[in-house]
Chains A and B, each alone.
Chain A
Amino acid sequence: MKLGEKQKLGLTGIAIGVIAVILVVLGNPKNMGFCIACFIRDTAGAMHMHTAPIVEYVRPEIIGIILGSFAISVISGDFRPKGGSSPVLRFVIGFIVMIGALVFLGCPLRMVLRLGGGDLNAFIGLLGFISGIAIGCVFLSNGFTLGKAAVQSRAEGAALSAVTTLLFILFIAAPSLFLFSETGPGSMHAPVAAALLAGLAVGIISERTRLCMAGGIRDIILVRDYTLIIGFAGIFIASLAGNLITGNFSLGFSGQPVAHSKHVWNFLGMLAVGLGSAMLGGCPLRQLILAGEGSSDSVMAVLGMLVGAAFAHNFSLASSADAGPGINGKIALVISIAVLLLIGIVVTLRERRKA
């Protein structure tokens, strides 16, 4: 039986939800089977880019996602290196997406996994995420674009995957090069092989189905298409069922794992993530997938997220669990949203004048 696009997305979402629950059972923090933002942040810490002692670990899931996407795109013919579409703006937007995610404490994927674990703070985040994407859609409908990408060399397209492979080899062969948390979320992790395999699987199926946490909401708003949102729904249903079965479901606002209940900042954090994702053309997970496919533009967004994570912890912008964001994080987030709006307005007006 040949599966349609919607069935494939539904199965992909369910698979990711199940994999996330299994990774929690194997050792990852609760409601954090997968979190692109948190795991890039942990990896930045492991590489000495920040020194927050509780969030340092080379997350094999991130390595697996990039390499899974790279491998399947090479095999399927989707590996088409391209780039040059406003790389610096993409870096800045990626940086801001990370600030928003670390104020909320999770990327859109973790937001859905938190919802599946009963964390109602994530519902506030979802409202912010939808609002951010809606603002992004206003820009897109009025001419916003980061510009055309041009064909690049295969070396350019494969560079991140090569660096990621090197990182994994060093992680296995010379772990003393890296920092590893002894307490906190960074100290909680599934076995390396399981995490890598999980990442590879998610990278492969997400590449084939174009799964994107932001794209589903964007397509509903822009073209009334409900295909991509099925993946989003599949992740939620599978993680909800998985958490109920494993006893990790806890409904409420307070006492949620690696979360806080500062509603305004949860809303605004995910608004920044939603708006930034709409402007970049995909959520943080999608940026990893596109980077694996050879998009150097998405590599720039990933690097922006990596540097943003380091800044977030070096300058106390990231929220702490329970207490929420400090004054630095609040100021940085408000400025970040203003910068996104400024980029959106300036680029949109420029494109309108050209038209």
Chain B
Amino acid sequence: MLDAEDIKVATFHSHYGAMMFHKRVAGSLLRPVPRSLSSSCGTAVFFSSPFSDECTDENTEAVYQKEGEIWRLIWKK
């Protein structure tokens, strides 16, 4: 489940990459990429647990932290 005060979103180069990340991060959710982050319509992973580099792989594109109405980039490949 997501903590409304601490929402992060990870974006990927492929749907499979999102699935793998989702499996590695407990309580995460697969959702379409937010429009404000990208004009592409790929799959993203929303999560609230602490972010670690170890959750990423070559398919992970970037990770953002929600701050009010904006997404702040906190990790990029």
Residue numbers of A with Cβ under 8 A of B are 5, 73, 78, 80, 140-145, 147-148, 207, 209-210, 212, 215, 219, 222-223, 225, 227-228, 281-282, 286, 290, 293, 351, 355
- When the two chains form their complex, are residues A223 and B32 in contact, meaning their CB atoms are under 8 A apart? yes
Contact count A vs B, C-beta below 8 Å: 56
Q: Is B19 an interface residue (CB 8 A)?
A: yes
- When the two chains form their complex, are residues A210 and B35 in contact, meaning their CB atoms are under 8 A apart? yes
Q: Which chain A positions have C-beta within 8 A of B20? A: 355
- When the two chains form their complex, are residues B41 and A78 in contact, meaning their CB atoms are under 8 A apart? no
Interface size class of B (residues with CB under 8 A): 10 to 19
Q: What would 10 A/B residue contacts be, using CB atoms closer than 8 Å?
A: A140-B14, A140-B15, A144-B14, A147-B13, A210-B39, A219-B41, A222-B15, A281-B40, A282-B41, A293-B39
Which 8 interchain pairs have the tightest Cβ spacing?
Answer: A145-B14, A78-B39, A223-B30, A140-B15, A143-B16, A148-B13, A210-B41, A215-B41
- When the two chains form their complex, are residues B35 and A141 in contact, meaning their CB atoms are under 8 A apart? no
Q: Could you tell me the dominant secondary structure of chain A's interface residues?
A: loop
With A141-B16, A142-B16, A222-B15 given, is the CB distance from A228 to B32 under 8 Å? yes
Q: Which chain B positions have C-beta within 8 A of A281? A: 40-42
Most chain B beta carbons < 10 A, residue from A5, A144, A210? A210
Q: Which chain B positions have C-beta within 8 A of A286? A: 41
Bound form: Cα–Cα A78–B17 in Å: 23
Q: Which chain A positions have C-beta within 8 A of B35? A: 5, 209-210
- When the two chains form their complex, are residues A140 and B16 in contact, meaning their CB atoms are under 8 A apart? yes
Task: Looking at the assembled complex, report how far the CB atom of B17 sits from the nearest CB atom of chain A, in whole angstroms.
Answer: 8
Task: Looking at the assembled complex, report how far the CB atom of B28 sits from the nearest CB atom of chain A, in whole angstroms.
Answer: 12
Q: Which chain B positions have C-beta within 8 A of A219? A: 32, 41
Bound form: Cα–Cα A130–B47 in Å: 30
Task: Looking at the assembled complex, report how far the CB atom of A135 sits from the nearest CB atom of chain B, in whole angstroms.
Answer: 14
Bound form: Cα–Cα A147–B17 in Å: 11
Q: Which chain A positions have C-beta within 8 A of B40? A: 210, 281, 290
Q: Which chain A positions have C-beta within 8 A of B30? A: 222-223
- When the two chains form their complex, are residues B41 and A222 in contact, meaning their CB atoms are under 8 A apart? no
With A223-B31, A225-B31 given, is the CB distance from A145 to B13 under 8 Å? yes
- When the two chains form their complex, are residues B15 and A141 in contact, meaning their CB atoms are under 8 A apart? yes
- When the two chains form their complex, are residues B16 and A225 in contact, meaning their CB atoms are under 8 A apart? no
Q: Is B48 an interface residue (CB 8 A)?
A: no
- When the two chains form their complex, are residues A225 and B32 in contact, meaning their CB atoms are under 8 A apart? yes
- When the two chains form their complex, are residues A212 and B41 in contact, meaning their CB atoms are under 8 A apart? yes
